[in-house]
């Protein structure tokens, strides 16, 4: 919520909410904004960013079982000294760009394709997302940092669904200290949605500074 550069912008981020049935609503307590601040000017603007997640068409149990199975169609990737197996049929359907690495990638042996420039934990999360449609948290890596690495991987392997999820997570941590860095990340990985959010945040911050200077 912002008041045309006359009051401090107020923002609230929530977890994913399920509005799938009638009457399901959410609100905020009295600490969101005080009445005196809200009424200090003649107008105000409410800005909302809404993300709509489609339910994954994938079966978690079925695809997880496929991921753990020993089918002849399995290929092996070597990433940062660790090996990961994946099925060609899943790569073709969910990660075709990664599947193409099999024919042009650097081999790390007779049966492995080496993937450079990706952390093993990130690659594991990428494969997990391809199989289940959901993210898995990486041990020892904070969520914003995970989102940065996964955004780079999603851009590299052209996974738009994962890319959007990473953009949403990075928007949640936008602040004065992170905005410039995240904007550079958005430009580098052609993330237009994230880029627009960063620019909006920086414009609001500049607007607030101008208002404070007038005081």
Residue 52 and residue 124: Cα distance in Å, rounded?
25
Residue 70 and residue 91: Cα distance in Å, rounded?
16
Q: Residue 135's closest CA among 117, 147, 144, 148?
A: 147
Task: Check: CB of residue 127 under 8 Å from CB of residue 90.
Answer: no
Task: Check: CB of residue 129 under 8 Å from CB of residue 141.
Answer: no
Averages of pLDDT over runs of 10 residues in the chain (215 residues) are 47 61 56 70 69 58 59 83 88 86 59 88 91 70 82 93 90 88 93 90 74 57
Q: Residue 133's closest CA among 20, 30, 45, 53?
A: 53
Q: Residue 83: what are its φ and ψ, rounded to 5°?
A: -110, 140
For residue 109, give both structure tokens.
């042996």
Check residue 125 and give its pLDDT.
92
**Going by CATH, does the domain composed of 60-168 fall within 3.30.710.10?**
yes
Residue 41 and residue 16: Cα distance in Å, rounded?
32
Residue 154 and residue 126: Cα distance in Å, rounded?
8
Check residue 176 and give its pLDDT.
87
In the numeric block, the tokens 């049966």 are attached to: 111
Check residue 141 and give its pLDDT.
56
Residue ranges covered by each domain of the chain: 1-48, 60-168
Check residue 7 and give its pLDDT.
42
Q: Long-range contact list for 6-14, CB < 8 A, 24+ apart? A: 6/40, 6/41, 6/211, 7/37, 7/40, 7/41, 7/44, 8/37, 8/208, 9/204, 9/208, 13/172
Give the DSSP letter string of 178-210.
Answer: THHHHHHHHHHTT-HHHHHHHHHHHHHHHHHHH
């Amino acid at each position: 919520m912002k008041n045309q550069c006359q009051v401090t912008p107020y923002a609230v981020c929530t977890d994913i909410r399920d509005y799938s049935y009638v009457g399901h609503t959410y609100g905020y307590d009295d600490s969101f904004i005080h009445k005196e601040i809200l009424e200090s000017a003649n107008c105000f603007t409410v800005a909302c960013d809404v993300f709509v997640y489609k339910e994954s068409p994938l079966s978690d149990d079925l695809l997880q079982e496929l991921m753990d199975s020993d089918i002849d169609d399995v290929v092996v990737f070597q990433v940062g000294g660790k090996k990961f197996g994946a099925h060609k049929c899943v790569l073709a359907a969910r990660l075709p760009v990664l599947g193409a690495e099999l024919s042009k990638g650097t081999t790390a042996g007779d049966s492995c394709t080496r993937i450079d420039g990706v952390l093993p934990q990130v690659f594991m999360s990428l494969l997990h997302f391809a199989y289940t449609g959901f993210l898995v948290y990486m041990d020892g890596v904070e969520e914003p940092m995970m989102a940065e690495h996964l955004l780079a991987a999603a851009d590299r392997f052209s996974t738009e669904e994962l890319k959007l999820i990473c953009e949403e997570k990075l928007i949640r941590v936008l602040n004065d200290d992170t905005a410039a860095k995240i904007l550079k990340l958005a430009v580098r990985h052609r993330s237009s949605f994230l880029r627009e959010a960063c620019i909006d945040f920086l414009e609001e911050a500049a607007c607030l500074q101008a208002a404070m200077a007038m005081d």
